[in-house]
Each structure stands twice: as C-alpha cells, then as structure tokens.
Structure 1
C-alpha cells in the first residue's frame, strides 16, 4: 500500500538448508543443491559471502530434485531429474548427480549426467553464478549485498574482485559469460546408455581474513564405540566428522594453535566460551586440542581496561572478527571481551587438561596466564564487592547479557518480568568456585604461592551462594537463575542450575534437590533439558533461551549429574538426547524446540539454529564420558571409572580414549563390571 513501511529485516532461517563445510569455508544451499540469492544461502569464506548464486540448469530449466545425501561434513551429493528429456518413458531415463566438495578457501562440483534412454539426448548444461561479497553480519540481519559483475579471466574462467578479495571460478571446457549474473555453459550429447561428467571450481583469496585452516590432521584420533544402542556410535562418528571440519586457527598463528570454530554459518570463528567448552568436552580424545585452545586465547588475554571492548587485565576474550560486527542493537569490536565466564572456563580447562595428562612443561608454560586470569577474578570480576561475579555492558553497544544465555530477554523472573543488570548468574558463581579450587591445585602442584587464598575464596563463595541464591517458590526449593541489580533472586527454574552439579559447591542434599528438579516434567518433558521450566510465565518452547533445548546444555548436565553420583537422572537426560539425535539424522543442532513429547512426535527445529555447531557436536563425546564415568588424575597416579548405574546405552566398549597420551580401551559389561587396557605405567584404576 502507498506509504506503508517496509517490513523489518529478520534473521534468515537455517533449519531446511544443507551445509557443506571445511572451515573457514561453508556452502549453504537448498535441499535441491541450488544456491539462490536469498536468505542465508551462499558460499561463505571467512565472514564474507563469496558466491550468492550457484544455480544448475539444463536447457535453461531447473531439474526436479530427488535427494540430498551428506557424505561427511565436506561433501554432499544431490540427485535431480530433467524429466522433459525422458520422452515417452514412464520411468526417469536422464538423471543428474551433482557432487559438491568444500575445501578451505574453495568449492568444487562434479556434474554427472547419465542417460538410460535408447535414443541420443542433446542438452545444454549451465551454472549461473553471482557474487555480492556481503559481510556475514549483513546476511545474518536478513539483508543482501550489492551484486558484483564478473569479469572474464580466460578460457572457462570468471573472476570477481572487491575489498581486496578475489573470487575465481574455472569450468574446464565451458563457455564463460561474464556479467552481474555470470554463466558457465556446456553443450552435451549423450548416446544410449552413456554418461558425461562436467566440473567447475571456485577459489577465494582473502588476505585480510582473520581465520584460516590449520595445517596437518586433526589433533585427535576417533573413538571406536560398540554399544547395545547403536545410535551412540552413529552420533559419535558424525559428530567427530563435523568437528574435524570446524577446526580453525588464527591467520598467522604459530603451529599447534588449533581450536574449534563455534558454528555454521554465523559463528565460524574464535569464541572463548564455545571453544573452551568444546575442548573440555573433547578431553577424552587427548589434550592437544585443549592446549591449542588455551594457547590461542592466552595470546589475546586482556592487558588493559577498555569499556568499549570489555577488556580487562587477565580477562579471556569472547569473540574475534575482522572488524566491527554490527547485529541488531549491538556493535561489537573485532576483538570483543564481553563475556563473564570465559576466563573461569579457561582456568578450568587448563586444570582438567593437566589431570588428563597434558605434559607438565606445557602446563607450566601457561601458568603466567593462569595467574593473570586469577588476578581478573580477584580485581575485576566483582565490581561492587558483594562477593559475586557479575556483568553489565558499560559501553551500551555490546551484549546486554554476557553468560551463555546471551539473548537480550534471557533473564526472566518466574512471573515473566525481566531482570535488570548488573546480573550475577548462578552457574558463573559455580564456575568461579571451581576455578578457585582448580587454580589452587595448579599453584600448589607447580610451587607457586597463593593456593590458600583461593581455597578460602571457594569456601566463602559456597556459603554466600547458599545464603543468597536459594529460593522457595512454585517449583520448590532451588537456586535462582541469577541476582539482579537490586540483589533480588531471579526466581525462575532454569537449566543454569545444572551447571552447579559436579563442581563440589553443593551439599549432598542440595545436589539431590537440583537433580530431582532437572528431570521433573517441566524441565525434562521434551527431548532433552529445557532452558526454562514450562511452569514459568516466560516459557516458550521456541524461545532462544526461555524454553528451548540446547544440545550442549543437556550434555553438560548429563555429565555433571554423572559426576555428582546421580546416575538415574543422568541416564534419563542422556536417553532423551539420543532420541533427539536420531530424529536429526545424528547431526544435533545448536538448539531445538522444547515442546512436550506428548504434543510433538519429534523435536521441532529451532529455525535459526546453527548446524553443525561445535559444542553440540562435542556433546557426543560428553555422553560417552558420562556413560563410563571416567575421571583421570594423571598427576595423582589414578583413573577413576564409575559407569552410570542405569547406563542408557547397555553394555559398552570404548576404544581409543587418550589418557596421558596413551590409547586406552574400556569395556563396561552387563551388571557394571569394568575392564581397562592400555593405561600407561604408574596409573591405577579405581572403581568405587
């Protein structure tokens, strides 16, 4: 209508797209294999969209799609039919098999056209191509870039150039037509029972990219799992394949500084929290990834106070981009430190890697960063001095919420009202308690002073938390989500409290109360652990953080329950997560709907969820660890194994755990008997 405002741009949906990935490069297409200049589709490289259009045509028309099959994270095969070439045949006689392969910095396709017809078939095959080099944040905001015009670059070659970036395409034997919509064209003739194979490739050159592919193979060898429930092995295999494809390093970083990029497509970069949690979950596969992640983040550890970036001395960063990252009301600097938990998680990862057998000289080399991180906890984490770790976006252009539930409306009271910052999150106090004790253990072990101070800090934190966070309400007695600016407990029942389990901060009675609530129908009535109870007023099964189910969150709580000795509750949530994995074809997304099982026969996709996503993929390893109950203490000379008493996977054999650098096999028999082989000398097994 005249004068009517344009509708607001919205983040494009992802749930029905097919991703093919080799970080830092990703192709996102429809299920038909076509990349159209719409939504989040495109070939992306290092935070820019290199190709915004890749459309396969036969005789100027799109073949009808039949199937899409993922062949590992980096290869996808699409089958389609140009049925107008079938003549009078009832059955399809001409088919198109299109295989897409993504490599770091490039993509290639082979297009095989085969004919089962008894007569010759003549056609023209073409690929339409477009490029806008749109920044990823613009695409995330639901906007496109301006189409660039391709230039001819030789026989079968096209090129686009802008902002110092070059995208080159080559189609051997093709006729290349430049322009805003460029084309590669091949005329073909197929005799009876013949086939022809065409190919083309794209390559991106981006000297300003801050992310690059690591050299060499993955830092881990795959676990081999044999379980009565075969779904566990399928989930693990696909997840580890995705994790290999998500490996990244900073451009120009020293060798070995490998970490896992957070997720496709929006977060394929360094994220402190995500990369740390992923590395922590992956410790059963070795300590090399943990070391690379720790070193990468230590290189960028804060050294000054800067309200614009959120930096402070000793603080671990949140996110790294090539420049200003503008999404919605947020304007995040390229190196942004607006996270309240990454520094604590860094300390805990270093401690856990040491316990899994990270070489002592490597641990010792990171002790200055450890002491700086503890310095941040002492001097900057509690600005008002009330003894709790809290955050507020002082700049006003950063993230309003700086825990893992970082959406603007995540902090809700039971009545649905929103909490005002500064916010002190429940789980962050647990991370701080754990970091203080873990930091003390490392300081003592390596002869550094200060351990007594941090053990006293942890004991005092536990008492303060007990006095201020526990609430009585409609759900019973439980820890609040947070304290708000007025120090009022935010009394909704949320998954955050599950992260307190296994830290040692809760008493046995408190652990039992939390565990019981986490598997109550309001929290666990869907296909995993809801982020907020269905009994709270703000609950919405498709809310980002107020009712959805996050894969990593459920897996962390599964493991925490197991470590806290709550096997029944841990097994219940593990089974739910495995049910969801089966329904998502064993590639668990970032999050999905928290609908009740009684109303939804399968999980409802959250339409903007990243997939694959780092800590969602690493959740598979977390399930294996929880099922075995494996807790190494290499410095102490022991490995504890306490299988879940109600193991959801049946008898289980895991081959290829890495403890102190050695390959270790563990079998859990029917009835819980444990067999362990391959432990290095000096380590004993304890099975309490």
Structure 2
C-alpha cells in the first residue's frame, strides 16, 4: 500500500495522545485524527460556517498546540494525555452585525494505529448525545470517547450565532478517552537554553526540548519518552534508552524512570511467542487492545539489553542518586548474563513470527552486503558488539563502585570480545563489517552502524581513525547516509538503505568528538543544523539527504531520539565528560566552534544547573554550576570561572 503522507501534517502531541491534520485543520481521512493509547478517538472533525469550510492556514504554537487562522475565524487545538480540545472562534471585525450558522461533524472509527498504518480502517461512528448533555462514541470492544461541548449547541452540533461589530465567540470541544487509566503529566521539565552565533542551534534545542517534554509519559511514578508520533507513542526499549542517554543534559529523571520501567519488565523466563529470555530487556510494549502483528509485550531486540547497562552507567555519572542506581544493579547483573549467554558474538536469528532484524535497522533490507544481497540467518551486528563491550566495562565499574563482585569477570569478557571482534569483523579496505553471519561471513556493506562503535572503547586509536575516515565518506550534506552511495542497494529514499537518521548521525558525532576527530564532528554538526532548518527545526525520524533534506512520507515527527539531537549536540560541542561520583566535569569543546561563540544555561548536572560560555576559539568560561563539582579542561587545568559558583548540591 502507499505510505501515509505525514510530513505535511500539523502534529500536536501530549503522550500518549496525538492530533494529526492537514494545514487547514480539517480531518477527513487517511491518518488524520486524534489518537489516544494507540487507538483513534476522532477520525473526522469538520467545521463549516454557513455550509462551507472556512479557508484556514495552520501552524504549531508548541509541541502540544496549534492554531489555524483565517480572515475572521480560527481553530485552536491542544493535545492532552487522554485526548484534547478543539476551540472554534468566530469574530466580527465589520461595522454591521454578522449572523452565521456554525456546524461541526465529529466521528471516529476506533481503529488501531497498526491498522491505520496498513490502510485497514472500518466505518465511522458519529458522536451521539446523551441525556446529560455530553456526546459519546462507544465501540463493541469497550473503547469509549466522551465529547464535552461548551456552550451547548442549538441542535446536533449546530449553533446559530449573531455577532455585533467587534464581538467574538468561541465553541470548545473536549474529547476524552474514558476507558483507560488516568495519566498524570510530569509537571517539571527542563530550562535548558542556548544562545549561539548560529541561531539555528538555539531553534533546534528549543524545539527538541519542547518535543521531548510532549513525548514524556508516566508509568506509575516513573517517566520515560514515548518513541514517536503517531505510530510509536508507547515504550520502546531501544528508543527510550537512547533518547534518555542523548537527553541527559536535561537531567537524569527520565533516564532513571526509563530504567525502572524497563527493569520492572526485564525478562525472567523463556517464551518463544514473545521472545522473552531471562535478563533480556523488552523491545516494545503496546496496550492489549492495540497490539499489531507482535504480542503486547515483545522482547525481540538484540541491543536494548546492553543499552540498559550503558544508560545506567551514564546516568550515575550525570548525578543519578546512588540508592536509585544500587536498586537496579540486580537488573545489570541479569542483563550481563544475557549478553554472555550468546555463543560467540551477541547475535539474533528471526523466529519467523517476530521481527526479521532485531537491531535498530529493523526493516527487511536493513542489513546488506556491498553487492546488494540481503543478509539473513543468524547475524551479529557490529554496533551491538560495541554496546556489549561498553556494557561489560561500565557494568564492572558499577559493580565495583557498590562493592559487588564480578567486575573482573566482565572486564575479561569485554577484552576477549574486543579481540574476537578484530579478527572477525574487519574487512579489506580497513572498516568493520555491518554484521557477521552465523557461518562467519562478513556482511561487507559500508554502513553507518560503524559510527556507533566510536566512544564505546572497543576500537583502538588506529581503528577509530579508520572508522572516522569512512564516516566522512558516508556523510551527505544533511547527515550520515545509513548505507554508502557506492553500495548496490543504495537508495536515498529508503528506510535504512541510504536515508539519513538524525539520531544515528548524532551518535556517531558524539563518538567522533570523544575520540578527537574534531573536523569530522564539526562537519556533522553543520549537516544536522542544515537539515533542521529545512524541517522547521522539528527533525523527523528520517529523511533523504542527498541533494536536499527530502521528507520520508511516513516518518514519525516528532520522534524522541530525533528530538534529543539538540541536547546531544550541546554535549558534543562542549566536549562534556561528566563524572559526578568523582566530583568533576571536564570540558573539551570542538574547536574552532562550528556554531561560533555560544552560551548554554540550564544544563542539569548533579541536582544543579550549569551555565557556561564557549567562545569561537573554544575557550571555556563557567558562570554557574552545582556546588561541590570541580570544573576542568581536557588538559587537566581548571576551567575559567567567571564568578563564584553557586547552585544546588549534587547527589
């Protein structure tokens, strides 16, 4: 089937709810509507004035809100976790009274996001009034949506209105899904902001922070980022962990909540249907009434388990409370045992009922040989070995820090993995294969996966330099191509075989910066800012990146790990190495700065907020920061302090 055209939709998000419509505000079919918990609560919402649809043009006013304005009339929209509101405002700027009939048509089809994505939807059901003055739509399986209308209509969602000169009036429609549990919004979020000579950085960070806020949802006392609107407004292990890691400049609360939410669901038994295994971290969680193709809780991911350990280690260094970290160490030990339980490398094989590929490139052609053949069978992905290496080393550090045994075992395991990786993965041409098959054949496609190895510790200095060189060849004007243009299967408009994914690019960028490849890192900063400008600074899940940043029709937008690019860029630009347990923050900024001079305020570390300036040459001045933290440059010298440091103490 043809893909849904989402790139031109006006999208308002308050996870797990999202509105989608065209620029004129109308919702008349396809993927448009209001979704709550993976079901469509409103499928059609049309407004007419004297029988004609008003000519409106819309734009977002925030991550959760939009306005659609015409010459005299407007529609304003707000997403809320269990639904949302639509407010129609009529105005009269003439010298004479204005009399009109306002009519609204509202219906739903209760369809799941999976069915809509596949083009399978049923007939619509109109909202009907009850005796209490509210309107309802109810499905046979128990889904219920309430519509509250203010002021009450004269007839079936119809108002006869007369406005005197200069007068205005509004009709508000509030849609609420009532058959699901109440969802509380986390009230406090980030004050992170940046002022740079290149204003595109400011805009990208601001939009990303707003979108991450909108994509947060609570799970009891815990909070995590839903993966993206509209298809993935739920918990995904890999996406949530990467988004939390990239978003650590916003604080550790989301990382801590994500880890607890995933730890509570960590595998404990063997289940062939869900692919659950002891110690394994889940891939995807869906409401039972909206599961699509996969079970409501599904564990078929090869990388989330290692990423769980890496994320906890990062969060600890950024200031996560020691008692909260210690509570998750049994999950770390179980995760490490799952990694070590693989024969040879950490690998996967399709069961035939779950996902074919279980890395982040999970499309059918996501793992390719250079000659265009699709890799099949048992596959060990290169980046997964990097995650596993880092998880073992950083997991060992955590165990040591809290007086638990096992540290030496996991460091030895990591060292052995690194040696076997060198022997098995490196291809002629001096680059790591995207994967190795169960039979030991190298899948020799030149792919962006190798960029995830940087910063994990798996690579030697020479190997890191070789990877940096290949990434420079993978770079398009707008980010890293997922597959080299020289590959037989290259397609810039594909999902994983040549497109650009912002999160993939920024992960490689962070690794380049950490390992001293400044020019290559700076080039990717400029590429991402160029792409962001073309997407109104709301980066989509993916796009084509050859001649221009070309929309991918069905890409999620916003997508959490794309939204986290802005905060992650600040980590890279500052060259931040945060180590709260050791009481220090080290700066090693990219110099010369690819964004000119910049100042970052509200970056959260150790319960305090960091305020720091970097000039165009890379000189660092700390204006404010958490108490009890030493600020150093990479050379080991103290950073310049503009004034006495004040702020909340760490912990």
- Correspondent of 2:317 among 336, 341, 355: 355
Quote the residue 1:22 is aligned against. Answer: 14
- Correspondent of 1:391 among 332, 348, 351: 348
1:626 Cα deviation (Å)? 0.2
Quote the residue 2:431 is aligned against. Answer: 478
| 8 Å CA contact retained: 1:317, 1:339 | yes
Q: For residue 240 of structure 2, give the secondary structure of its aligned residue in structure 1.
A: helix
- Correspondent of 1:454 among 379, 404, 410: 410
- Correspondent of 1:332 among 278, 291, 294: 294
- Correspondent of 1:202 among 175, 199, 216: 175
1:685 Cα deviation (Å)? 2.0
Quote the residue 1:424 is aligned against. Answer: 380
| 8 Å CA contact retained: 1:96, 1:111 | yes
Quote the residue 1:158 is aligned against. Answer: 135
Measure the CA separation in 1 of the matches of 2:593 and 2:616. 10
Measure the CA separation in 2 of the matches of 1:364 and 1:337. 24
Alignment pair present for 1:555 and 2:555: no
Measure the CA separation in 1 of the matches of 2:499 and 2:464. 24
| 8 Å CA contact retained: 2:24, 2:58 | yes
Query: What does residue range 520-599 of structure 1 map to in structure 2 within 5 Å?
Result: 520=473, 523-595=474-546, 597=547
Quote the residue 1:123 is aligned against. Answer: 100
Measure the CA separation in 1 of the matches of 2:9 and 2:154. 28
Quote the residue 1:465 is aligned against. Answer: 421
Measure the CA separation in 1 of the matches of 2:145 and 2:629. 55
The alpha-carbon distance between structure 1 residues 176 and 403, as it changes in their structure 2 partners (threshold 3 A), is farther
Quote the residue 2:187 is aligned against. Answer: 217
Q: For residue 604 of structure 2, give the secondary structure of its aligned residue in structure 1.
A: strand
Quote the residue 2:638 is aligned against. Answer: none
1:658 Cα deviation (Å)? 1.8
Measure the CA separation in 1 of the matches of 2:123 and 2:456. 51
The alpha-carbon distance between structure 1 residues 632 and 340, as it changes in their structure 2 partners (threshold 3 A), is same
Deviations 1:94-123 (A, max 9, x none): x21111112121221222222333333321
Task: Please identify, of 12-21 and 527-536, the stretch whose mean Cα deviation from structure 2 is larger.
Answer: 12-21
Measure the CA separation in 2 of the matches of 1:592 and 1:405. 14
Measure the CA separation in 2 of the matches of 1:452 and 1:667. 40
Measure the CA separation in 2 of the matches of 1:150 and 1:668. 56
- Correspondent of 2:150 among 169, 172, 180: 172
Q: For residue 317 of structure 1, give the secondary structure of its aligned residue in structure 2.
A: coil
1:191 Cα deviation (Å)? 3.2
1:617 Cα deviation (Å)? 0.3
Task: Please identify, of 198-207 and 399-408, the stretch whose mean Cα deviation from structure 2 is larger.
Answer: 198-207
Q: For residue 177 of structure 2, give the secondary structure of its aligned residue in structure 1.
A: strand
Measure the CA separation in 2 of the matches of 1:276 and 1:173. 45
1:283 Cα deviation (Å)? 1.3
The alpha-carbon distance between structure 1 residues 325 and 103, as it changes in their structure 2 partners (threshold 3 A), is closer
| TM-score of the pair, normalised by structure 2 | 0.94
Measure the CA separation in 2 of the matches of 1:670 and 1:681. 28
Measure the CA separation in 2 of the matches of 1:117 and 1:636. 68
Deviations 1:441-485 (A, max 9, x none): 11111111111111111111111111111112xxx3211110123
1:201 Cα deviation (Å)? 1.7
Quote the residue 2:202 is aligned against. Answer: 233
Gaps of at least 5 residues in structure 2 are: 636-651
| 8 Å CA contact retained: 1:110, 1:200 | yes
Number of residue pairs matched? 633
Quote the residue 1:73 is aligned against. Answer: 63
| 8 Å CA contact retained: 2:585, 2:629 | no
Deviations 1:110-147 (A, max 9, x none): 22222333333321111111111111111111121232
Query: What does residue range 87-166 of structure 1 map to in structure 2 within 5 Å?
Result: 95-154=72-131, 157-162=134-139, 163-166=141-144
Q: For residue 442 of structure 1, give the secondary structure of its aligned residue in structure 2.
A: helix
Deviations 1:175-208 (A, max 9, x none): 376xxxxx5111112333433322222121123x
Measure the CA separation in 1 of the matches of 2:151 and 2:621. 60
- Correspondent of 1:291 among 249, 256, 259: 256
1:556 Cα deviation (Å)? 0.9
| 8 Å CA contact retained: 2:127, 2:147 | no
Quote the residue 1:304 is aligned against. Answer: 269
| 8 Å CA contact retained: 2:228, 2:557 | yes
Quote the residue 1:40 is aligned against. Answer: 31
Q: For residue 243 of structure 1, give the secondary structure of its aligned residue in structure 2.
A: helix
Gaps of at least 5 residues in structure 1 are: 1-8, 82-94, 178-182
Q: For residue 549 of structure 1, give the secondary structure of its aligned residue in structure 2.
A: coil
Measure the CA separation in 1 of the matches of 2:536 and 2:13. 17
The alpha-carbon distance between structure 1 residues 682 and 227, as it changes in their structure 2 partners (threshold 3 A), is closer
| 8 Å CA contact retained: 2:345, 2:380 | yes
1:646 Cα deviation (Å)? 3.1
Measure the CA separation in 2 of the matches of 1:214 and 1:505. 41
Q: For residue 503 of structure 2, give the secondary structure of its aligned residue in structure 1.
A: helix
Quote the residue 1:371 is aligned against. Answer: 333
Quote the residue 1:90 is aligned against. Answer: none
